[in-house]
Structure 1
Amino acid sequence: MEKVITLPQGKNEDISIVVTGAAGQGIQTVEDILGKVLKRSGLNVFATKEYMSRVRGGNNSTEIRVSSKSVRAFVNRIDLLICLNKGLRNYLKERISSDTVIIGDIEEMGKELAGRGQMFFDVPLLHFAKELGSPLFANVVAAGIITSLFDVDMSLLEQYFDERFGAKDKGLVTKNIDAAKKGYEIARELAEDITVKMDHNSEIGKELLLTGSDAVALGAIAGGCNMIFGYPMSPATGVLSHLSQVAEEFGIVTEQTEDEISAMNMAIGGWYAGGRAMVTTSGGGFDLMSEGLSLVGIGESPMVIHLGQRPGPATGLATRTEQADLNLALYAGHGEFPRAILAPGSIQEAFYMTQHAFNLAARYQVPVFILTDQYLLDSSYNLPAFSCEGLKVEKHIVKTDESYKRYVITEDGVSPRGIPGYGEGLIAFDSNEHGETGRNMDEDPQIRSEMNAKRMRKLKGLEEDSLPPALYGDVDYDVLLIGWGSTKHIIEEAMEKFSRPKTAFLQIRQPFPLHSSTKDYLKRAKVIVDIEGNATAQMANLIKLLTGIEASYRILTSSGMEITVEELLIKLRCLHI
């Protein structure tokens, strides 16, 4: 070639790498290798995956953004595409631009990508992998190519494989190292045509690399969680898996129940006995928990519910992302009873909000939802270690005497909470309406009215303790973007590229109860743009219901894919604001 391709290209400060292949070819392993090794070498990384709901075949992909600066959002751009198999889906092909560099096996790919990208480098990945003993090593060869292009010392890969496989099979460590070295050999030849220029910072290597699932699990531990119940359902299973792996170390009871009904009822029993339980599920699984949620409501039991959203209705798109379960969390369960809904927008917030959820549930004796989605749970990036300074486990449990009344009427609606075996009092719990003692009240309408009013009075305290929204951008704004949950970093980056003066982003961190300052922020804006990953603008509708203020524009996506920075930027520019 006459011209050497230099990455990053143009004004970009990061390199977007996409690795694609069939289920079973180890695409997630490539993401794990690159994320950990590139981070240890001193580079910032962001990774997010999209995968089909199948065990073998098809075509899955992972995007890894690498930069000397912090990167935390999904982009449409592909700078370097590594193909392990043919059959790329159309939406991936549409992301290939005239600047994309493609590395693939021409024998495997055929003419599928003919005429696409800036340059196609024919590398027989499967052939080399078979020479090493198995076609499964193709992913490690690919990882070796990428790490070599980024000038990563081979010793970091050797360290990675020893940590991952050393305790099980030293022979497997050697084979993986050999596969990675083959990738380095290939990269030395490619270096004549491709060069990567990126500064490494050793301080980055000391940071954590976590997924959203990791952060929710760690936040639960920090919140004193000692019981986790659930039935496997993507994307929420990762939280159950993480806590199961550390259950013995942290004294956590974990149970994969026969169904979600059992999970909720076991968690209710756990809180009744003095434990701190969480259930983790997705929309379809939570549907089965809704009757138990009403039991939580009338029994005034604390409860923490992690609800990882994915597209519905029914099975929908089992491995994709969406923000369509806000209404489900808000209105689930028959009857009326207070609740709180938290919506972390980052991995840091997933940790701190989950920790907060346990104390909030214990204080007000209500269900608290942690509303995430597949994109947030399955994405990862590097970040400094969490600070646990000031974090406390608040139990809000009293020692009872013989005169104890579980549901004594109080001004704020919160009755002192006792547990069996701690004191002399009777700890009643009933799904029927009850009086102050918790026993049957003979369907007395006055007692019913008093108990219902008592429960609903908790909303005032929940509103006072609600997390305020976070404002980013120009404080003297006239255009206000609003969003919630996983769109946070995408909106931030798109707003920065939008470069419109007097523009700000208001992140709703707690959809319900909505913090009182939200209305003040909205009233100051001349134009409000709502950005959500659903078809009906659930957050905008809730804001209108609670504040009377309606969004000027709504940018909504419900394709099952997270909106990219570029897509959002185009939509913002089309508004001509």
Structure 2
Amino acid sequence: MNKQELSILVGGEAGAGLDTTGQILLLCSSRGGLYAFGNTEIPSLIRGGHNSFSVRISSEKVLGHMQQVHILLALNEETIVLHQEDVSEDGAIIYDGDILQNIEKKSWFRKDRQYIAVPLTSFAKTIAQDPIAKNMVAIGAAFALADYDINFVESVIDKHFKRKGEIIVKRNHDAVLAGYGHVKAQNIDFAYTLKKTNDPAKILLSGNDAICLGAIRAGVKFVGEYPMTPSSSILHYMASEAHEYNIAVRQTEDELAAVNTIIGAGFAGVRAMAATSGGGFSLMTEALGLSGMTETPIVIALCQRPGPSTGLPTRSEQGDLEFAIHASQGEFPRLILAPGDSEECFYMTGDAFNYAEEYQTPVIIMSDKYLSESKQTVDELDQQDITIERGKLLSDEEIARSPFRRFAWSDDGISGRSIPGQPKGMFVVASDEHDPTGNICEDSDNRKMQMEKRMQKLTTASKAIKEKYRVYGSERANILLVSWGGTKGMILEAQEMLKSQGISTKFLQMTVILPFPHDILKLLEKTATVIAIEQNYSAQLARVIRRETGFLIPHEIVKYTGRPFFAKELTETIQHILDPEKQPNVPKYITYRERNKMKM
């Protein structure tokens, strides 16, 4: 039976055009009204090494990548060796017949796999006149196998390469047609097909793209950043849109300079942001405290990757949550938001800028490589849902009513704010402790008052922010899955897999980590089986929950290989927790811990 879903994995070495291949596959499907999701796995190399780009396409909404592959596009032999285990029994492996011959004599050859030889190299050289174009030949072969509308594919390719000139357009166009025609001529009966829909083209966004769009809609006017994977595309995107939206974008000499520049911009009344990863955030921590002490609004997107030190620069992890909570010396309020998909990245970035100004404090948006760089189709974004709220930014008339005291006591912890140039709004600002006017003061009573005033902001924010978490699934379920960030999509898919097997679950997605939502304790206590799912070694959110509520989450599923979860891995591990006799094994790269049987 034909299925309107397709999982394609293209593999090869760095420099072989894999990113272009993945982007074209995504564009051809999303512009054809289909849902799609794309994820890259690459080593930290400019050339060589093994790269892969996974694309999942469906007529129904997809939330993440798949472990099972329907079409494997092998641009080299290593791709077959590494990935053919994941190819479904009714799938196919398309390989370069020019460089691989007599494959039945290879040690990796399997009789239960369908191998399709396509002369990728010779077609690229003779038709496109460029050996790198073998990836375009492979695209044509894949769409032929899935019986996708080649005329539509041609139109997408024409538009994609148009800015490179007619010659490049024609070469890529012809390369795709060559691959398509070669496979079509073989009349292969394939189980998975794709049909273009009559629905409008869908928006294709990465998490970083969505953060940028949310920031632009929220009125960002200054971006200071030093490039660091996986946050760099935020700098690139903002620089490309700077002229259109009147945004000052500065690539600074390092991350400390970046955060200092956005503090200066925030002090001047401009909405400002920086983006970085864990290593860069380490350099930002001193200045983060400056933002907290001077009560200057800033937004930082922290796009996590595995550490410590350089770690795995091009992989994904959620290892910086507790770091973000405690970063910089001393105590001061900060808000931490944790979107789980591209749509949430858009809307929650808008929230971040409002919160930064309303509570006059740094706001950190937690992302990870998987969420930051994976591309997915999203429903139309409602820009009207992002409004601009500037908090206690006083007018000239309000300032003139009484002597202005920038850090005056306020029951909600938030003092009135002025910006440079406002008559009678001048004040002193320093990184030292200060009195209500801003002048340095070491008096004990003043210190107590200023500390309590600043920390009161978290209580104020906690009361004002209504939605700090979301719950998916059946309210009656006795199994609660707890997580945050980019794991969202795979958990939702695992829920559906478990549901099909008669196992009912609910999923607590934490979207606001600070101020902490203490009311989740009721949900935790009334559920029989609670399982934390995180992409870090120590289940950091579970530790934060225990510290804030006293509740010990008894089961932890963690993964720290630098690769994201698969829904199948989660499903099998949850089954193991529920019935270890029926499901005795845990997947290879998953670590499961039962905390109530461990010494704490």
TM-score (norm 1): 0.94
> What is the alpha-carbon distance in structure 1 between the residues aligned to residue 302 and residue 82 of structure 2?
28
Asked if 1:543 corresponds to 2:539, the answer is no
State the match for 1:386 in structure 2: 381
> What is the alpha-carbon distance in structure 1 between the residues aligned to residue 332 and residue 192 of structure 2?
57
Asked if 1:476 corresponds to 2:505, the answer is no
State the match for 1:453 in structure 2: 452
Which deviates the most, 105-114 or 450-459? 105-114
> What is the alpha-carbon distance in structure 2 between the residues aligned to residue 438 and residue 538 of structure 1?
37
| Kept in 2: contact 1:324–1:534 (CA 8 A) | yes
Which deviates the most, 525-534 or 89-98? 89-98
Asked if 1:408 corresponds to 2:404, the answer is no
State the match for 2:86 in structure 1: 95
Which deviates the most, 81-90 or 66-75? 81-90
State the match for 2:62 in structure 1: 71
**1:162/1:74 CA distance change after superposition, 3 Å:** closer
How far the C-alpha of 1:346 sits from its partner, in A, is 1.0
State the match for 1:518 in structure 2: 520
**Where do 5+ consecutive residues of structure 1 fail to align?**
1-5
How far the C-alpha of 1:156 sits from its partner, in A, is 2.8
**1:445/1:549 CA distance change after superposition, 3 Å:** same
How far the C-alpha of 1:187 sits from its partner, in A, is 2.5
| Kept in 1: contact 2:98–2:122 (CA 8 A) | no
Asked if 1:138 corresponds to 2:138, the answer is no
State the match for 1:429 in structure 2: 429
Which deviates the most, 493-502 or 520-529? 493-502
**Which among 201, 214, 218 is matched to residue 213 of structure 2?**
218
| Kept in 2: contact 1:309–1:374 (CA 8 A) | yes
State the match for 2:277 in structure 1: 282
> What is the identity, as a one-letter code, of the residue corresponding to 1:524?
K
**1:89/1:143 CA distance change after superposition, 3 Å:** closer
Instruction: State how 1:333-372 maps to structure 2 within 5 Å.
Output: 333-372=328-367
**1:412/1:25 CA distance change after superposition, 3 Å:** same
Q: Match of 1:145, SS? A: helix
State the match for 1:183 in structure 2: 179
| Kept in 1: contact 2:480–2:529 (CA 8 A) | yes
| Kept in 2: contact 1:321–1:560 (CA 8 A) | yes
> What is the identity, as a one-letter code, of the residue corresponding to 2:47?
R
Instruction: State how 1:91-170 maps to structure 2 within 5 Å.
Output: 92-109=83-100, 111=106, 113-115=108-110, 118-131=113-126, 132-170=128-166
Q: Match of 2:56, SS? A: strand
**Where do 5+ consecutive residues of structure 2 fail to align?**
580-600
Once the two structures are superposed, residues 8-56 of structure 1 have per-residue CA deviations (whole angstroms, 9 ceiling, x without a partner) of 4xxxx62211011111111110111111112222322111111111111
> What is the alpha-carbon distance in structure 2 between the residues aligned to residue 24 and residue 423 of structure 1?
58
Which deviates the most, 177-186 or 288-297? 177-186
**1:112/1:430 CA distance change after superposition, 3 Å:** farther
| Kept in 2: contact 1:59–1:89 (CA 8 A) | no
> What is the alpha-carbon distance in structure 1 between the residues aligned to residue 521 and residue 294 of structure 2?
33
| Kept in 2: contact 1:98–1:116 (CA 8 A) | no
> What is the alpha-carbon distance in structure 2 between the residues aligned to residue 23 and residue 525 of structure 1?
47
Which deviates the most, 261-270 or 445-454? 445-454
How far the C-alpha of 1:144 sits from its partner, in A, is 1.5
**1:226/1:152 CA distance change after superposition, 3 Å:** same
Which deviates the most, 295-304 or 458-467? 458-467
**1:294/1:90 CA distance change after superposition, 3 Å:** farther
Q: Match of 1:278, SS? A: strand
> What is the identity, as a one-letter code, of the residue corresponding to 2:286?
E
Asked if 1:572 corresponds to 2:580, the answer is no
> What is the alpha-carbon distance in structure 2 between the residues aligned to residue 116 and residue 234 of structure 1?
41
**1:77/1:390 CA distance change after superposition, 3 Å:** closer
| Kept in 2: contact 1:30–1:143 (CA 8 A) | yes
Once the two structures are superposed, residues 120-139 of structure 1 have per-residue CA deviations (whole angstroms, 9 ceiling, x without a partner) of 11112112111121111011
Once the two structures are superposed, residues 432-457 of structure 1 have per-residue CA deviations (whole angstroms, 9 ceiling, x without a partner) of 1100011112x212111111111111
| Kept in 2: contact 1:96–1:117 (CA 8 A) | no
Which deviates the most, 88-97 or 296-305? 88-97
**1:90/1:271 CA distance change after superposition, 3 Å:** farther
> What is the identity, as a one-letter code, of the residue corresponding to 1:461?
T
| Kept in 1: contact 2:149–2:196 (CA 8 A) | no
State the match for 1:238 in structure 2: 233
| Kept in 2: contact 1:149–1:195 (CA 8 A) | no
How far the C-alpha of 1:501 sits from its partner, in A, is 4.3
Instruction: State how 1:4-83 maps to structure 2 within 5 Å.
Output: 8=3, 14-83=5-74
How far the C-alpha of 1:89 sits from its partner, in A, is 8.7
Q: Match of 1:575, SS? A: helix
Which deviates the most, 186-195 or 376-385? 186-195
| Kept in 1: contact 2:34–2:197 (CA 8 A) | yes
How far the C-alpha of 1:161 sits from its partner, in A, is 3.2
Asked if 1:202 corresponds to 2:198, the answer is yes
Once the two structures are superposed, residues 178-213 of structure 1 have per-residue CA deviations (whole angstroms, 9 ceiling, x without a partner) of 11111221231243343543454221x432111111
State the match for 1:440 in structure 2: 440
**1:491/1:195 CA distance change after superposition, 3 Å:** closer
> What is the alpha-carbon distance in structure 2 between the residues aligned to residue 146 and residue 391 of structure 1?
40
State the match for 1:505 in structure 2: 507
> What is the identity, as a one-letter code, of the residue corresponding to 2:438?
G
Once the two structures are superposed, residues 130-163 of structure 1 have per-residue CA deviations (whole angstroms, 9 ceiling, x without a partner) of 1121111011111112233333333433333333
| Kept in 2: contact 1:41–1:152 (CA 8 A) | no
**1:389/1:117 CA distance change after superposition, 3 Å:** farther
Which deviates the most, 364-373 or 62-71? 62-71
Using the aligned pairs only, state the percent identity: 37
> What is the alpha-carbon distance in structure 2 between the residues aligned to residue 112 and residue 301 of structure 1?
63
How far the C-alpha of 1:112 sits from its partner, in A, is 6.3
Once the two structures are superposed, residues 448-486 of structure 1 have per-residue CA deviations (whole angstroms, 9 ceiling, x without a partner) of 111111111111012123433111111112111111111
Q: Match of 2:556, SS? A: strand
Instruction: State how 1:311-350 maps to structure 2 within 5 Å.
Output: 311-350=306-345
State the match for 2:589 in structure 1: none
State the match for 1:3 in structure 2: none
TM-score (norm 2): 0.91
> What is the identity, as a one-letter code, of the residue corresponding to 1:187?
V
> What is the alpha-carbon distance in structure 1 between the residues aligned to residue 427 and residue 108 of structure 2?
68
How far the C-alpha of 1:167 sits from its partner, in A, is 2.9
| Kept in 1: contact 2:81–2:108 (CA 8 A) | no
> What is the identity, as a one-letter code, of the residue corresponding to 1:189?
A
Once the two structures are superposed, residues 245-299 of structure 1 have per-residue CA deviations (whole angstroms, 9 ceiling, x without a partner) of 1111111111111100110000000001111000100000100000000101111
Instruction: State how 1:244-323 maps to structure 2 within 5 Å.
Output: 244-323=239-318
> What is the alpha-carbon distance in structure 2 between the residues aligned to residue 527 and residue 116 of structure 1?
43
Once the two structures are superposed, residues 407-454 of structure 1 have per-residue CA deviations (whole angstroms, 9 ceiling, x without a partner) of 11111110011100123221322111100011112x212111111111
> What is the alpha-carbon distance in structure 2 between the residues aligned to residue 35 and residue 428 of structure 1?
53
How far the C-alpha of 1:510 sits from its partner, in A, is 1.0
> What is the alpha-carbon distance in structure 2 between the residues aligned to residue 373 and residue 410 of structure 1?
37
